[in-house]
């Protein structure tokens, strides 16, 4: 469904990613893992058009989307949940969700999708009138994911959903990600530092290091790979 081909991104003179080629099949969860500064987030941002790639191509359903502005990419059904839960702090939870449906014209279906979201995250329904900034970290992450779902995407790009969230909520959120994948058949590209957690829900994984892919394979294989265990899963 999504394919990048030899993707390069530079921040000024610094090469953030060098030749990333990944493939995300439909209805699967694919994860990018790796340490800080490996280029995971940059890859995601390049896909969603927030940063421009200097070399390489991005294909979405075999259409070349390289260099398109972010709002056009969202309109094609690729929705990103940005790192650090970038929700609109001065809008209420409801307004945040409505912003997610910004590009949609089918007003009658929005209600149905809201119900689906409240079903997955009942907590959000309780806090509907509260402004986004007053939510806890975990709730903000739920809101960010829900908001992305409101645009009725065909594919979700999740950036570090576990970042800075209470461990107990991290588990819930990952369960919900799997639920979204199963019930909606949503294709998900997941960027995550918590390699163990990411590999436990993903079908396929890529290990990044200083801007390049050093290892790839089915998630279960990666999880048992001794190098990965040593480097990212805290085993000696």
Q: Which residues bind other proteins (CB under 8 A)?
A: 36, 48-50, 69-71, 74-75, 79-82, 84-91, 95, 98-100, 102-103, 131-134, 137, 140, 144, 147-148, 151, 163-164
Nearer CB in complex with other proteins: 74/219: 74
CB of 171 to other proteins, least distance (A): 19
Nearer CB in complex with other proteins: 127/147: 147
CB of 71 to other proteins, least distance (A): 5
**What is the per-residue DSSP string for 20-64?**
E--EE-TT-EEEEEESTTSSHHHHHHHHHTSS--SEEEEEETTEE
Q: How many residues does the chain have?
A: 236
Nearer CB in complex with other proteins: 87/231: 87
Q: Are 1 and 26 in contact (CB under 8 A)?
A: yes
CB of 150 to other proteins, least distance (A): 9
Nearer CB in complex with other proteins: 132/211: 132
Could you tell me the strand order of the sheet in which 29-34 lies? Answer: 78-81, 155-159, 187-192, 29-34, 204-209, 212-218
C-alpha 199/C-alpha 152 separation (Å) is: 26
CB of 41 to other proteins, least distance (A): 10
Q: Are 7 and 21 in contact (CB under 8 A)?
A: yes
Nearer CB in complex with other proteins: 19/84: 84
CB of 14 to other proteins, least distance (A): 18
């Amino acid at each position: 469904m999504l394919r990048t081909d030899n993707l390069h991104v530079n921040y000024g003179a610094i090469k953030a990613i060098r030749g990333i080629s990944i493939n995300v099949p439909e209805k699967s969860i694919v994860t990018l893992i790796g340490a800080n500064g490996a280029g995971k987030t940059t890859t995601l941002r390049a896909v969603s058009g927030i940063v421009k790639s200097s070399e390489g191509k991005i294909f979405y359903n075999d259409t070349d989307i390289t260099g398109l502005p972010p709002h056009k990419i969202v309109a094609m059904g690729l929705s990103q949940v940005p790192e650090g839960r970038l929700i609109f702090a001065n809008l209420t939870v409801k307004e945040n969700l409505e912003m997610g449906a910004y590009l949609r014209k089918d007003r009658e279906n929005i209600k149905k999708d809201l119900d689906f979201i409240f079903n997955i995250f009942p907590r959000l329904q309780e806090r509907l009138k509260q402004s986004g900034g007053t939510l806890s970290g975990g709730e903000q992450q739920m809101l960010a994911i829900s908001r992305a779902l409101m645009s009725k995407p065909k594919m979700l790009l999740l950036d570090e959903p576990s970042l800075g969230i209470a461990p107990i909520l991290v588990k819930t959120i990952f369960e919900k990600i799997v639920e979204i994948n199963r019930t909606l058949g949503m294709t998900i590209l997941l960027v995550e530092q918590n390699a163990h957690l990411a590999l436990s829900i993903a079908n396929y994984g890529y290990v990044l290091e200083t801007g390049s892919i050093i290892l790839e394979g089915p998630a279960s294989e990666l999880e048992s790979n001794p190098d990965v265990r040593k480097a990212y899963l805290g085993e000696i």
